[in-house]
């Protein structure tokens, strides 16, 4: 009996230790199980076109437009909204805000998902571009959060996750075509997104930008918070290099923000990382940061985060503010995914203005 009890105690202790060491991975797996829809993706119930698809000729299908009052008009500090006089546009694709297990794709009228888009994403991310550009941000039937967990990725292109992403992209490509046809009028434009939005940008770049005349009007791509392997970028976007300076145009920018204690679920060493404080791969100090954006107060805090590209990820050694201590949708220890824009907001805003100015000065 003593041996049995001792063995049981050892097993329990080992389980507790492993549970602590791998708590982020375990929590990630549990979340995936709890948030996954109970039925498989049904193409018949989710057609690419039909009454449930967004009609991008109507303002209701957009979360931000230059002609409407919306979160992308948000200003912090002494910033001004220059959309009325801007010489360029931005097509912004929001990240995942649909967390429900009810469906593989968000209904366009989901109140919780839209509240996050309107009052968090557009406020803390899309608004960074209202100094340089008119902002066009479509609503779309985004893939649910669980679509990115391993179980949903099983089956490749026939899997639930891939099919959900394909439906989401079918909306976005129609939105992009409407943007070009009705709104853009052959002006320069920026493509920007975050997380799921930046994943869709990868496909849009391949299918609609690279190797086409549209590339000549592209100022830059801010594909933040998604995985862009160097080899894939070189192969897929052969005419769209990684940005190597603050004023280079027709180039790609991406980063994934972490802290020193982040859990590593994959080898990211070959990922593209452009530092949003230096706009190349060089290191930056806290003093280089023009200002982080606090969504709740709509204020700027200079010097909150430093940044260095380390093994394909953007490493922040220390957050010098308690304003970002209790994060909603925490994705694990020192995983600053939802802060990819917020921590470097003022620097992103200034850089977008600089790139548009540089583009306009080209012969």
Residues forming a β-bridge with 293: 300
Res. 205: pLDDT tops 80? yes
Query: DSSP string spanning 297-310?
Result: TTEEETTSB-BEEE
- Identify whether the C-beta of residue 359 lies closer than 8 Å to the C-beta of residue 219: yes
Name 286's Cβ contacts closer than 8 Å, sequence gap at least 6: 303, 304, 305, 306, 318, 320
In a domain, 179, yes or no: yes
Which one has a higher pLDDT value, 204 or 267?
Answer: 204
Whether 326 shows a pLDDT value over 80: the answer reads: no
Q: Is residue 180 situated within a structural domain? A: yes
Residues 154-189 pLDDT 10s: 667 778 999 999 999 999 999 999 999 999 999 999
The answer to the question of residue 34 being in a domain is no
DSSP code, position 236: H
Q: Once rounded to an integer, what is the mean pLDDT over residues 239-244?
A: 96
Crossing angle, helix 2-21 and helix 23-35, to 10 degrees?
80
* Residue 5 falls inside a structural domain: no
Is 143 contained in some domain?
yes
Averaged pLDDT for residues 5-20: 35
Q: Count H helices and E strands in the chain, helices first.
A: 9, 11
Residue 17 tokens read as 């230790």
**Residue range 55-70: mean pLDDT, rounded:** 97
Whether residue 1 lies inside any domain: the answer is no
pLDDT in tens, 110-131: 999 999 999 999 999 999 999 9
Would you list the DSSP string of 88-153? EEEEEE-------SS-SB--TT-HHHHHHIIIIIHHHTGGGGTTTEEEEEE---PBPGGGGSHHHH
Contact assessment for residue 201 and residue 191, using Cβ atoms and an 8 Å cutoff: yes
Place of tokens 């959060």: 145
Is 197 domain-assigned? yes
Containing structural domain, residue 89: 47-360
Query: Residue 155: what pLDDT?
Result: 66
Strand stretches in 283-345, DSSP E: 292-294, 299-301, 308-310, 313-315
pLDDT, the chain, mean: 89
Domain-located, residue 284: yes
Q: Looking at the 3D structure of the chain, how many domains does it have? A: 1
Contact predicate 135/83, CB 8 Å: yes
Q: Percent of the chain scored above 70 by pLDDT?
A: 88
């Amino acid at each position: 009996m003593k041996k049995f009890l001792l063995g049981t105690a050892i097993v329990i202790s080992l389980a507790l230790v492993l549970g602590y060491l791998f708590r982020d991975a375990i929590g990630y797996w549990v979340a995936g199980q709890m948030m996954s829809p109970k039925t498989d993706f049904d193409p018949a119930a989710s057609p690419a076109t039909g009454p449930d698809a967004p009609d991008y000729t109507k303002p209701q299908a957009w979360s931000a437009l230059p002609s409407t009052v919306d979160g992308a008009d948000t200003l912090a500090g002494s910033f001004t909204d220059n959309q009325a006089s801007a010489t360029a546009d931005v097509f912004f694709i929001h990240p995942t805000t649909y967390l429900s297990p009810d469906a593989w794709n968000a209904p366009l009228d989901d109140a919780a998902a839209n509240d996050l888009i309107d009052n968090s994403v557009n406020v803390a991310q899309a608004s960074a571009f209202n100094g340089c550009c008119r902002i066009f941000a479509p609503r779309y039937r985004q893939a649910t959060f669980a679509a990115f967990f391993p179980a949903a990725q099983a089956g490749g292109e026939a899997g639930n996750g891939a099919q959900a992403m394909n439906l989401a992209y079918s909306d976005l490509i129609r939105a992009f075509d409407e943007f070009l046809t009705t709104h853009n009028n052959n002006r320069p434009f920026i493509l920007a997104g975050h997380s799921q939005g930046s994943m869709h940008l990868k496909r849009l770049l391949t299918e609609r930008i690279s190797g086409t005349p549209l590339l000549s009007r592209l100022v830059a791509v801010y594909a933040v918070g998604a995985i862009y392997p160097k080899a894939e970028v070189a192969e897929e976007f052969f005419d769209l290099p990684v940005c190597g300076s603050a004023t280079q145009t027709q180039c790609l920018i991406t980063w994934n923000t972490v802290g020193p204690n982040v859990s590593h679920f994959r080898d990211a060493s070959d990922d593209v990382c452009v530092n949003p404080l230096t706009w190349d791969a060089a290191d930056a100090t806290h003093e280089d940061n023009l200002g982080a954006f606090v969504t709740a107060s709509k204020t700027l805090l200079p010097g909150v985060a430093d940044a260095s590209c380390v093994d394909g990820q953007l490493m922040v050694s220390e957050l010098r503010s308690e304003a970002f201590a209790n994060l909603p949708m925490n994705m694990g220890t020192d995983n600053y995914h939802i802060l990819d824009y917020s921590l470097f907001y003022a620097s992103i805003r200034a850089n977008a203005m600089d790139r548009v100015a540089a583009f306009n000065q080209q012969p």
